[in-house]
C-alpha cells in the first residue's frame, strides 16, 4: 500500500525538494486515505520551530540550517520530517556529524534531509490506521528525495526503514501548523562521504 501527498508548496520549496519526488498520481493526504481525522490538533509553530525547540534534535536543526533548509521547513508545507535524534548522529562519530554542517558536505546534507521528509502531514494515528488496514502488509511513502520509506509494526512500536534497509523506531510526534515532526532513533540513509 502506498500513501503520499504532494501539498501546495512555495516555488522555492518545489525547486529545492521536488526534484526526484514522484507521487505517481497518488496525491492523497494520509488522513484522507485512512478515512480518519488527525488525532491531535496541530500546534501553531512550524516544522522548523519544532526542531529548534526540541533539545534532542539539535544536530538535525544545525544541519538543516547550514544546508539552507530550515527556512523552507518554516514555510507553507505541509511536510513530515522523520527527524533523527541526536543519538542517531552520535553513532556517526563526532567528526562526521560536524562535517555534515560544513560547506564541503552541503549537497550530502541536503540529500540526507530530503530522504527524511515526505510531503503532507503524516501523524502516528494515520500510520497506525494504515498499518491496521493493511494487515501484515507494510505501508510505503515516497520521500522528497524520491526514495521509499517502509513502515511496519513490531509489537506496539512503529518501525520505518529506508530503501537501504536502515531501520528506526518512531519515538515521538509533534504536529505543527505546516506538518509534523516524527522523531526517530536512527538515520534512514547513510551519511555519504564526499565524492572526488
Mean pLDDT confidence for 40-63? 88
- Angle between helix axes 58-66 and 106-114 (nearest 10 degrees) is 120
pLDDT at 6 over 50: no
pLDDT in tens, 157-175: 999 999 888 999 999 999 9
The residue ranking higher by pLDDT, 138 or 196, is 138
- Give the pLDDT score at 96: 81
Distance linking the first and last C-alpha atoms of the chain? 39
pLDDT at 13 over 50: no
CA dist., res. 172 & res. 64, Å (int): 19
pLDDT at 183 over 70: yes
The residue ranking higher by pLDDT, 22 or 132, is 132
If you search the block for the grid coordinates 508545507, which residue do you land on?
A: 77
Amino acid at each position: 500500500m502506498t500513501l503520499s501527498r504532494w501539498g501546495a508548496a512555495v516555488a522555492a520549496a518545489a525547486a529545492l525538494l521536488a526534484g526526484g519526488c514522484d507521487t505517481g498520481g497518488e496525491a492523497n493526504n494520509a488522513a484522507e486515505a485512512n478515512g480518519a481525522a488527525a488525532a491531535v490538533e496541530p500546534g501553531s509553530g512550524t516544522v522548523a520551530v519544532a526542531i529548534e525547540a526540541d533539545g534532542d534534535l539539535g544536530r538535525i536543526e544545525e544541519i538543516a540550517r547550514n544546508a539552507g533548509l530550515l527556512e523552507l521547513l518554516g514555510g507553507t508545507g505541509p511536510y513530515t520530517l522523520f527527524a533523527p535524534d541526536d543519538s542517531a548522529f552520535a553513532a556517526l562519530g563526532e567528526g562526521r556529524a560536524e562535517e555534515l554542517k560544513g560547506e564541503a558536505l552541503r549537497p550530502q546534507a541536503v540529500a540526507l534531509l530530503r530522504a527524511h521528509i515526505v510531503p503532507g502531514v503524516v501523524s502516528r494515528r494515520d500510520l497506525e490506521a494504515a498499518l491496521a488496514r493493511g494487515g501484515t502488509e507494510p505501508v510505503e511513502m515516497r520521500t522528497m528525495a524520491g526514495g521509499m520509506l517502509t513502515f511496519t509494526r513490531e509489537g506496539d512500536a512503529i518501525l520505518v526503514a529506508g530503501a537501504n534497509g536502515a531501520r528506526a523506531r518512531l519515538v515521538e510526534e509533534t504536529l505543527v501548523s505546516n506538518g509534523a515532526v516524527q522523531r526517530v532513533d536512527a538515520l534512514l540513509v547513510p551519511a555519504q562521504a564526499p565524492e572526488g
